[in-house]
Structure 1
């Protein structure tokens, strides 16, 4: 699997070389493949990026942190938050589809077959 385009940015922010970042990415991708079972799923990519960010922050001289208005925000937190938001969109869509289906079957009941 190709390394993510964010790899050089994370390497720079954590203070590690791009070569080390690539090694950490390969390690994270290998672990994610073992956990997810295949390398073509969205779970695999999510796990691989999360593991890579964790490895880069652990290995680097500084974490992927920046100061904003007196608070500290971490890129790994941001990545996980974005993942939660995208899952909420899918849950909302699923609930809307269920509501529509229940309304449709309530308006047009199927034929009743006596037992």
Structure 2
């Protein structure tokens, strides 16, 4: 996958060189491909961009999203992590409901008699 056009802007914003940003993008894209399984979906691109921003903020001395107070702390990774954790809870609840539903339908389904 080609590097996004926003890559130089993120590099400048975080205070890293464009060469390092390109290396970080390739690393993030490779990891996202392993996780997503393909490199054509929107999930792959979202994962790649999130990982790239995380790596760029870790290597650089600034955050991509500036706070109103202009503090040096980076909390954007906490928000992304909280989003992932909340999605896991919803996936678990959905799986449990489907399991309960299938067991309930099997219980109430037609009774089979042995011959």
Write the distance in 1 (CA, Å) between the matches of 2:36 and 2:106. 38
For 2:10 and 2:19, how far apart are their aligned partners in 1?
A: 12
TM-score by length of 2: 0.60
The residue number in structure 2 matching 1:29 is 29
Q: Which has the higher strand share?
A: 1
Flag structure 1 segments of 5+ consecutive residues without an equivalent: none
Q: State TM-score, norm by structure 1.
A: 0.60
What is the Cα deviation at residue 9 of structure 1? 6.6
Whole-Å separation in 1 of the counterparts to 2:16 and 2:76: 16
Q: Which residue number in structure 1 is paired with residue 112 of structure 2? A: 111
Runs of 4+ in 1 over 6 A off after TM superposition: none
**What is the alpha-carbon root mean square deviation over aligned residues?**
3.9
Say if 1:73 and 1:61 are closer, same or farther in 2 by CA, change over 3 A: closer
2: CA distance, partners of 1:82 / 1:13: 24
Q: Given that residues 13 and 64 in structure 2 are in contact (C-alpha distance below 8 angstroms), is that contact kept between their aligned partners in structure 1?
A: yes
CA–CA separation in structure 1 for the residues paired with 2:56 and 2:91: 30
Q: Which runs of 5+ in 2 are unaligned?
A: none
Stretch deviating more after TM superposition (97-106 or 35-44): 35-44
Aligned mates of 1:54, 1:10 — CA distance in 2: 11
Rounded Cα–Cα distance in structure 1 between residues aligned with 2:54 and 2:8: 15
Contact 1:53/1:76 (8 A) holds in 2:
no
